Amino acid sequence: MKEMRQNVVFKDLEKMTYKEAWDLQSYVHQELINLKLAFRKSGGVGIPLEPPVHSLFFVEHPPVYTLGKSGSTDHLLLSEDELESLGFTFFKINRGGDITYHGPGQIVGYPIFDLEYFFTDVHRYVRSLEEAIIRTLEVYGLEGTRIEGYTGVWLQSDGIRPNRKICAIGVHLSRWVTLHGFAFNVNTNLTHFGHIVPCGIQDSDKDVTSLQQELGHVLDMEEVKGVLREKLAQVFDFEYISNNS
């Protein structure tokens, strides 16, 4: 791990299909890996002293269900015809976790970081993503929490409502370069989670929620993105730079 603060290029992809965003992040991910492989092929030891430029993408996808490598297709409750009739798409992908939903009103974040310049600890990486969401929720007067054995960020049961998941996290690493990320429900249509067993969790005391659901009004997406960007930079201790830097 290097002592210097890392540089991250941020790009809001706005509205983009899952396939387009997947192709983009896969390309950027491979480019970071290629830098390391070229360095070692030339006789270098460890990692280059000059850090790479890491990337962070935010995006809103059209309605799509994605299934992680450890998930079960039984947790998708729609047939192919039903998916098509609703205008939804479905992808099996290589992140961890089970099935989840992405759609309008949700901030999907794809950090593409070489963790050898931050810390080489997968659990710490996931906890750091959770921490950034928890700090964002604090700004809106909500107390995010973790539930042992379950990845993501939750709002704890108040005795009337169950534990409610507001952010799902699923990641994949190759040579310590991160792929995939998190899905933060802001103004998300929660009825779309009814077509799946979200994250494969069937416990009666667990549900999904959104900022809109909890606060009772529609949130300004740009404002929430700004807060979340700031909290991610705080937690990971990096600086944003322009694409031209």
Domain total in the chain: 1
Count helices and strands (H / E) in the chain: 5, 12
Residue 120 is assigned to a structural domain of this protein: yes
Q: State the CATH number of the domain containing residue 191.
A: 3.30.930.10
Question: Residue 51: how many CB atoms within 10 A of its CB?
Answer: 17
Instruction: Give this prediction's pTM.
Output: 0.92
Residue 192 is assigned to a structural domain of this protein: yes
Catalytic-labelled residue, pool 199, 208, 228, 232: 199
Residue 1 is assigned to a structural domain of this protein: no
Residue 51 is assigned to a structural domain of this protein: yes
Band of residue 144 on the pLDDT scale cut at 50, 70, 90: very high
Residue 156 is assigned to a structural domain of this protein: yes
Band of residue 1 on the pLDDT scale cut at 50, 70, 90: very low
Active site residue 167: no
Mean pLDDT of 5-17: 96
- Rounded to whole angstroms, what are the CA distances from 81 to 77, 86, 92, 99, 119? 12, 9, 17, 19, 45
The confidence score (pLDDT) of residue 175 equals: 94
For 197, the 3-state DSSP assignment is coil
pLDDT tens profile 39-52: 988 888 888 888 89
Range of the domain at 201: 6-241
The residue type found at 116 is E
Q: Name the residue with higher pLDDT: 158 or 110.
A: 110
For 202, the 3-state DSSP assignment is coil
pLDDT tens profile 186-219: 999 999 888 877 655 566 688 999 999 999 999 9
Residue 177 is assigned to a structural domain of this protein: yes
Dihedral of alpha carbons 67, 215, 224, 83, sign: positive
The confidence score (pLDDT) of residue 40 equals: 86
β-pairing, 54-60 vs 106-112, is antiparallel
Residue 13 is assigned to a structural domain of this protein: yes
Residue 134 is assigned to a structural domain of this protein: yes
pLDDT tens profile 66-115: 888 777 778 888 887 888 888 889 888 878 777 889 999 999 999 999 99
